[in-house]
Amino acid sequence: MRLLSCTIVGFGRLKNQQIDFNDGLNAVQMENGWGKTTFAMFIEAMFFGLKGGGRRTLSMREHYRPWDGSEYGGILSFEVNQRAYRMERLFGEKDGDDKFALYDEKGKPSEDFTENIGREIFQVDRDSYEKSIFFPQNALGTGMTDSLNAKMGDMAAARDDIDGYDAAIRRLEDAKLALTRGSKGEPGRLVLLTQEIKQRNEKLSERPAVADALEKQRGVLEEKRSLLSEMKKEKKELLDIEAGQSEREKELGIYTEKKEILAKLTGEQQILKEYFSAGFPNTEKLDKMEELARSLRVDRSQLEAAISRLPSDEEGERLFSIFENREISDEIMSGWEEKIREIVALRLKCEHADMSEEEKRQLSELESYFEKRNPTEKELEDAMADAALLAQYEGQVEALDEQYRNTRARSTADKNTDESGGAPKGFAYAVVAVAVLLCGSVAFGELLGGALGWTLAVLCAALGAGILGIIFSEERKRRAKKQGRAETLSRELRKAEEALYSKQRERDHQKEKCRSFLAGFLVSPADSYTQMIGEIQRKKEVYQRLLHRREQTMADNSETIEKLSALQVELYVVLSQYAELYHMDLNERHEEGELLERLRDDWRRYNILCENLEEKEQLERTVWKEETKLFSFLDRYPVSDSAEVGELKEAAALEPSDRLLYIRQKLSLYNEYEERLLGLKKDVEEFEAGHDIEAEEQAMAEAAEKKAALDERMTEMSAQLLKAQESESELSDRLEELDEISESLEALTEQEAQYRMKVDRYEKTILYLGRAREHFLTRYMGALQGSLARYLQIMEVELSQGKGGTSPFSLDLDLTIRLNRKGGLKDAEYFSSGYKDLFAFCTRLALVDVLYQKERPFVILDDPFANFDEQKTAKALSLIKKMSSRRQVIYFTCNADRMP
């Protein structure tokens, strides 16, 4: 495809411009500001229409609209598929106003392409066009677009994968690092496990040494056991020899034993002899002393009982203070008791003749009641008569009051009847009648007129006057009658009122009289004065009766009281000294019975005290005598030898009977020793007469010595064996620990193998994913990469192979190029801007080669080599010259140095 010519009617600053294009290279040098970019935009707009703008930028339509309002658009002639076309586009205010027309080479309208002619010819959208065949100034960088992607084979899904490749590799590397990280802060699990295994292996390395030591230690142990076992055998032999000794040797043993016993018993008998140095007591003496000891024990216990029966010292002193040096006896107290009984009887008698407590209480109350005023019977009868009269007056006043009220009611009723009676009503009727007649007369006169009219009018008037006269006459009569009746009622009312007031005064006088009588008494409120005075009358009667009863009682008791007083005086004189000791007041409380009771009780105690004291003194004397006798015997046999110091102390604390038993035992022992010594001496003397004792003893001593030495060696060997066992035990424990470590190591090693397998899998996955990526890119980006490699070589970019002969550069699906430098792929960003432009230029050329293989479109270069140095510019220009042999190149520059 190639451009033939164009006519720019109006587009930005370009107006009425006619440009013809050649095949191959069209290099145009224009000064800055001519409109190179505008021209390039015109070509794009002719193929793709105008592009909309963003919110903050002018749209292409606005940007390139001629400022003078002239026609906006132009004509472009081109050749495609070896057919020439002329395309006209005029741009309006908006997309809908745009006009598009296509004509074939004969000038006839053509429908080979629509207004989307750019997409239809190039098979890419505007964006892709800009990123491929249009090389703008200062923006050579390109990238993959959906449209380019589709044109290259629809690798949208693959692109997502490739985009996720780096993340996938990172994920795998992270997982691997989690196992293999060597940092001290957070080491990987495999590293930790390896360290653990190493540590355990280090510990386990001791095992052969420990096992060897254990083996040796067991050897030592075995040796010592063997030695000990031999010693045991030797000892057993010795014991066997001992056991197999002859009867003679046994007898020697018995002799030796008897001799030892003889010596021992002789010594002990000597001690007993010393004990009985005061003389050996005979059995009878000991029996007597034991009898005495038993009596002493009984007497001591009786003495203790007598002492225990004595009261406390305070109590004793108290009893002595009461009875000592006082004349008192049971008989005297019986006499006092008799008198007390008599006094009590007299008191009872007085009490029985006396008034009851209720009567006394009643009398006391009535005395208080009548203390202020004690009315006579006459006064009470008068008062009762007054009260009766008052009741009568009350009734009369009530009747008069009723009468007065009735009269007054009648008078009031009469007045009311008069005021609202028929006079006014009759008067009113009369006035109405007169008014009717008068009106009738006027009506007759006026309406009928004439004589009849006037006659009727006069008759009516006369009738009215007559009626009026009758009414006035009747009214005067009625009023006179009423006045007479009112005067009568008034008189009756005054009379009733006077009678009522008179009776009320009498009643009040009588009431005052009754009140003044009752003022001196405390009476319960009652309905009438009669009831109240009646209550006083009843109390008065009771009072009189009780007074009479008291006088009679006093007269009856006077003799008994006198007798009682005499007896009391007689008794109290005697008892007062004791009452004082007991802090009792006989005169006030008459507690002579209680006093005598306490006195009797204390008297009994006092007598017991005296008896006990006497018994105690007697027992003390007996005990003293017995002790003197007994201890004079016991003291002859003190346990004084040093060997029995402990026993001595015990003996001193013993009872005499126990000490006697002790002496008896000693005596018995002495006698036993005496008897045994006789037998032993006889046996020893007989044996010595028949044996060479010295030689036999020496042989036995040697055997015993040998046995003792063997025992000592065995003890020593046992101790050594024990130590050896301890060492063996320690080594055994250590070996157990190491065996446990060995067991645990197996699981850890298994775990380590699993971790290592995981690491291996991660590494292989990373490796194979990398290879897959390379394969993929090679498969789908191969042509592009090949073309790029060719252009990079033309531009003499240094290319070096990667590790393992991998490609010297990589181009991913985003058209991002990375070059291999120093063993790794470096992003274009690491290079200078000149190189970056160079890489981008080559990438664009490669992209154009790959994208447009069938229909080779023109390329427009808008001074793209501004950042290139002289050498690169020369190569680039050489390259576009070369390229122009295969496709139409439209090259703009403002610099003559950059002209091809």
Partner 1 sequence: MKIIHTADIHLDSKVESSLPPVLAKERRLEILDTFAQLVDYAKDQGVSIVIIAGDLFDKPHVRKGVRRRLLSIIKENEGIDFLYLKGNHGKSDFLEDVDWDDMPANLKTFTEEEWTAYEYGKVVISGREISEENIRTIPVNLILDESKCNIVVLHGREPGYVGSDKTPVIPIQQFKGKFIDYMALGHTHEFTEGRIDDRGSYCYSGVLCGRSFTECGRKGFVLLDINDDSGRLSASFVPFDDRCFYESEAPVNEKMQNEDVKKAVAEALKDARSKDFVRVVLTGKKAMDFDVDISGIEEEYSRQYYFFKLVDKSSIEIDYEAYVGDRSLKGEFVRLMQGENLPEEEKASIIDLGMRAILGEEV
> Of 157 and 653, which CB lies nearer to partner 1 in the complex structure?
157
> Which of 728, 730, 752, 812 contacts partner 1 by CB under 8 A?
728
For 528: left if phi > 0, alpha if psi spans -120 to 50, otherwise beta; the answer is: beta
* Rounded Cα distance, 127 and 227, in Å: 106
Q: Is 689 in the site for partner 1 (CB under 8 A)?
A: no
> Of 161 and 379, which CB lies nearer to partner 1 in the complex structure?
161
Contact 128, 147 (CB under 8 A): yes
Q: Is 238 in the site for partner 1 (CB under 8 A)?
A: no
DSSP string, 426-482: HHHHHHHHHHHHHHHHHHIIIII-HHHHHHHHHHHHHHHHHHHHHHHHHHHHHHHHH
* Rounded Cα distance, 799 and 141, in Å: 20
Residue 165: CB partners within 8 Å, gap ≥ 6?
769, 773
Q: Minimum CB separation from partner 1 for residue 815, in Å? A: 17
The continuous run of DSSP H or E covering 891 comes out as strand 889-893
> Of 146 and 615, which CB lies nearer to partner 1 in the complex structure?
146
Q: Is 257 in the site for partner 1 (CB under 8 A)?
A: no
Q: Is 236 in the site for partner 1 (CB under 8 A)?
A: no
> Of 161 and 506, which CB lies nearer to partner 1 in the complex structure?
161
Q: Strands 134-135 and 99-104: what pairing?
A: unpaired
Q: Phi and psi for 178 in degrees, rounded to 5?
A: -60, -25
* Rounded Cα distance, 368 and 376, in Å: 16
Q: Is 28 in the site for partner 1 (CB under 8 A)?
A: no
Number of residues that bind partner 1 (CB under 8 A): 49
Q: Is 783 in the site for partner 1 (CB under 8 A)?
A: no
Q: Which residue stretch of 38-46, 186-194, 401-409, 742-750 sits at the interface with partner 1 (rule: CB under 8 A)?
A: 742-750
> Which of 18, 229, 607, 718 contacts partner 1 by CB under 8 A?
229
Q: Minimum CB separation from partner 1 for residue 739, in Å? A: 6
Q: Which residue stretch of 27-35, 495-503, 590-598, 762-770 sits at the interface with partner 1 (rule: CB under 8 A)?
A: 762-770
Q: Is 271 in the site for partner 1 (CB under 8 A)?
A: no
> Of 26 and 810, which CB lies nearer to partner 1 in the complex structure?
810
Q: Is 310 in the site for partner 1 (CB under 8 A)?
A: no
Q: Minimum CB separation from partner 1 for residue 675, in Å? A: 49
CA angle 8, 881, 127 (to 5 degrees): 50
Q: Is 806 in the site for partner 1 (CB under 8 A)?
A: no
> Of 214 and 346, which CB lies nearer to partner 1 in the complex structure?
214
Give the distance, in angstroms, between the CA of residue 414 and the centroid of all CA atoms in the same chain: 98
Q: Is 161 in the site for partner 1 (CB under 8 A)?
A: yes
- Helices 656-690, 247-275: inter-axial angle, 10-degree rounding: 140
Q: Is 590 in the site for partner 1 (CB under 8 A)?
A: no
Q: Is 780 in the site for partner 1 (CB under 8 A)?
A: yes
Short-list 205, 208, 197, 224, CA closest to 731 = 208
For the chain, the C-alpha Rg in angstroms (whole number) is: 82
Q: Is 240 in the site for partner 1 (CB under 8 A)?
A: no
> Of 777 and 877, which CB lies nearer to partner 1 in the complex structure?
777
> Of 725 and 807, which CB lies nearer to partner 1 in the complex structure?
725
Q: Is 149 in the site for partner 1 (CB under 8 A)?
A: no
Q: Is 648 in the site for partner 1 (CB under 8 A)?
A: no
Q: Which contacts qualify for 549-558: CB closer than 8 Å, 24 or more apart?
A: 549/355, 549/359, 550/355, 550/363, 553/353, 553/354, 553/355, 556/353, 557/350, 557/353, 557/354
Q: Minimum CB separation from partner 1 for residue 190, in Å? A: 15
Q: Is 237 in the site for partner 1 (CB under 8 A)?
A: no
821 - beta bridge partners?
A: 824
Short-list 883, 885, 863, 888, CA closest to 873 = 863
What proportions of the chain, in percent to the nearest 5, are helix, strand and coil?
Answer: 70, 10, 20
Q: Minimum CB separation from partner 1 for residue 160, in Å? A: 8
* Rounded Cα distance, 661 and 290, in Å: 8
Q: Minimum CB separation from partner 1 for residue 180, in Å? A: 14
Q: Is 139 in the site for partner 1 (CB under 8 A)?
A: no
Contact 717, 228 (CB under 8 A): yes
Q: Is 807 in the site for partner 1 (CB under 8 A)?
A: no
Contact 736, 257 (CB under 8 A): no
Q: Minimum CB separation from partner 1 for residue 43, in Å? A: 35
* Rounded Cα distance, 44 and 124, in Å: 12
Q: Is 168 in the site for partner 1 (CB under 8 A)?
A: yes
Instruction: Restricting to residues 186-225, name those near partner 1 by CB under 8 A.
Output: 211, 214, 218, 221, 225
> Which of 99, 216, 232, 723 contacts partner 1 by CB under 8 A?
232
* Rounded Cα distance, 513 and 533, in Å: 12
Q: Which residue stretch of 267-275, 420-428, 686-694, 746-754 sits at the interface with partner 1 (rule: CB under 8 A)?
A: 746-754
Q: Is the dihedral of CA 578, 583, 589, 591 positive or negative?
A: negative
Q: Is 171 in the site for partner 1 (CB under 8 A)?
A: yes
Q: Which residue stretch of 26-34, 117-125, 147-155, 585-593 sits at the interface with partner 1 (rule: CB under 8 A)?
A: 147-155
Q: Strands 889-893 and 25-29: what pairing?
A: parallel
**Tokens matching residue 386:** 């007054």
> Of 121 and 815, which CB lies nearer to partner 1 in the complex structure?
815
> Of 157 and 519, which CB lies nearer to partner 1 in the complex structure?
157
Q: Is 239 in the site for partner 1 (CB under 8 A)?
A: no
* Rounded Cα distance, 270 and 674, in Å: 10
Q: Strands 25-29 and 99-104: what pairing?
A: unpaired
> Of 189 and 300, which CB lies nearer to partner 1 in the complex structure?
189
Q: Phi and psi for 4 in degrees, rounded to 5?
A: -105, -50
Strand, coil or helix: what is 11?
Answer: strand
Q: Strands 73-80 and 2-11: what pairing?
A: antiparallel
DSSP string, 754-788: HHHHHHHHHHHHHHHHHHHHHHHHHHHHHHHHHHH
Q: Which residue stretch of 587-595, 760-768, 793-801, 857-865 sits at the interface with partner 1 (rule: CB under 8 A)?
A: 760-768
Q: Minimum CB separation from partner 1 for residue 725, in Å? A: 7
> Which of 327, 551, 559, 746 contacts partner 1 by CB under 8 A?
746
Q: Is 764 in the site for partner 1 (CB under 8 A)?
A: yes
> Which of 747, 798, 804, 823 contacts partner 1 by CB under 8 A?
747
Q: Is 814 in the site for partner 1 (CB under 8 A)?
A: no
Q: Is 166 in the site for partner 1 (CB under 8 A)?
A: no
* Rounded Cα distance, 150 and 723, in Å: 91
> Of 200 and 676, which CB lies nearer to partner 1 in the complex structure?
200
Q: Which residue stretch of 22-30, 258-266, 582-590, 744-752 sits at the interface with partner 1 (rule: CB under 8 A)?
A: 744-752
> Of 6 and 813, which CB lies nearer to partner 1 in the complex structure?
813
Instruction: Restricting to residues 43-72, name those near partner 1 by CB under 8 A.
Output: none
CB atoms within 10 A of CB 626: 18
Q: Minimum CB separation from partner 1 for residue 715, in Å? A: 17
Q: Is 501 in the site for partner 1 (CB under 8 A)?
A: no
Contact 163, 879 (CB under 8 A): no
Site residues (CB under 8 A) for partner 1?
153-155, 157-158, 160-162, 164-165, 167-169, 171-172, 175, 211, 214, 218, 221, 225, 229, 232, 725, 728-729, 732-733, 735-736, 739, 743-744, 746-747, 750, 761-762, 764-765, 768-769, 771-773, 775-776, 779-780
